[in-house]
Amino acid sequence: MIDINPVTQLLQQLQDNICQALENADGTGKFVEDNWQREEGGGGRTRVLTDGTVIEQGGVNYSYVSGSQLPPSATAHRPELAGRSWQACGVSLVIHPKNPNIPTSHANVRFFIAEKDGDAPVWWFGGGFDLTPFYPIEEDIIHWHQTAYDLCKPFGDKVYAEHKKWCDDYFYLKHRKETRGVGGLFFDDLNQWDFATCKDYIQAVGNGFIDAYVPIINKRKSMTYTEQQRQFQLYRRGRYVEFNLVFDRGTLFGLQSGGRTESILMSMPPLARWQYNYQPEADSAEAKLNEYLKPIDWTNKLEL
């Protein structure tokens, strides 16, 4: 038997730590908690910060849900899970800052287990974090990837490279032929290590998000910006919406499994816009973003 309680305790503490770190970086904004229950089993606590000094809207959600039968999104690529009872828990967050010089960020760590009498349980961990800048500052991107590299190192020399590539591949908008941002880490179906090591890794990823993102907020929150930059930020937020609603497996799983819609869609930005056939001016700061919307090997700029 696998005891899920240490994982849920870790995740709730991680939610507390991330919210506290983000409140400190914002300066005035506070997360408001909304506790909810799911009829079939489980519940969660959604925390949302709205209209802070720095964070326009951010959500940090903890959930634990369970059920007797998995939704189609889960069994499509794992048909052996059909007919099993299941439990899933995780922390998921998206932060949309006001200042276009601060990137949007996302992080997620989760655990899943499916059980059936007479069979061994099937379990895995997943998660990661990624960064979506509007006006890329290379110093910040290098810091982001350095933090990712450092937290992966104790778990194996190949972990950063493998999970960085997975992130580049996953957060790719096929219809736009561009990555959602500058990447980070992404992993799923993690069970090749023993249970304790896998749990330690998601804890390192969760803590690593704080170490990676909060210094960027603190460096960039006092930078001035123009209305033109703000409008470009809102335009690029539209890409975030497109990915989450078209490609994101977590969104699909949440909706198909009868999850709480408000919590699932808390990742949406409070404002976004679309513009027909928008093309940035050549050699402009807006055009420069296109240079980063592809997989880039940052290792030659990291301290390895």
Predicted confidence (pLDDT) per residue in 217-267, tens digit:
999 999 999 999 999 999 999 999 999 999 998 888 788 877 789 988 989
110 in a labelled binding site: yes
106 in a labelled binding site: yes
* Structure-model confidence comparison of residues 229 and 3, the more confident one: 229
Quick check: 259 and 268 in contact, CB under 8 A? no
101 in a labelled binding site: no
Q: Which percentage of the chain shows pLDDT scores above 70?
A: 99
163 in a labelled binding site: no
Catalytic residue, chosen from 77, 106, 143, 163, is 106
Closest by Cα among 142, 5, 169 to 87: 5
**Spacing of C-alpha 121 from chain mean position:** 27
Predicted pLDDT at 116 = 85
Q: How many residues does the chain have?
A: 304
Residue 147 has pLDDT above 80, yes or no: yes
Global pTM exceeds 0.85: yes
Predicted pLDDT at 30 = 98
260 in a labelled binding site: yes
* Separation between Cα atoms, residue 159 and residue 250, nearest integer Å: 22
259 in a labelled binding site: yes
**Which of left, alpha, beta for 41 (phi over 0: left; psi -120 to 50: alpha)?**
left
Q: Which percentage of the chain shows pLDDT scores above 90?
A: 83
175 in a labelled binding site: yes
Task: Give CA separation, 23 vs 26, 189, 218, 221, in Å.
Answer: 5, 32, 12, 13
Quick check: 110 and 127 in contact, CB under 8 A? yes
pLDDT digits (tens, 9 = 90+) for 173-208: 999 999 999 999 999 999 999 999 999 999 999 999
Over residues 91-108, the mean pLDDT reads: 98
Q: What share of the chain is helix, strand, coil (3-state, %, to 5)?
A: 45, 25, 30
Active site residue 106: yes
145 in a labelled binding site: yes
* Separation between Cα atoms, residue 214 and residue 22, nearest integer Å: 7
Given pLDDT bands bounded at 50, 70 and 90, which one contains residue 76? confident
* Domains defined for the chain, CATH in brackets: 4-301 (3.40.1500.10)
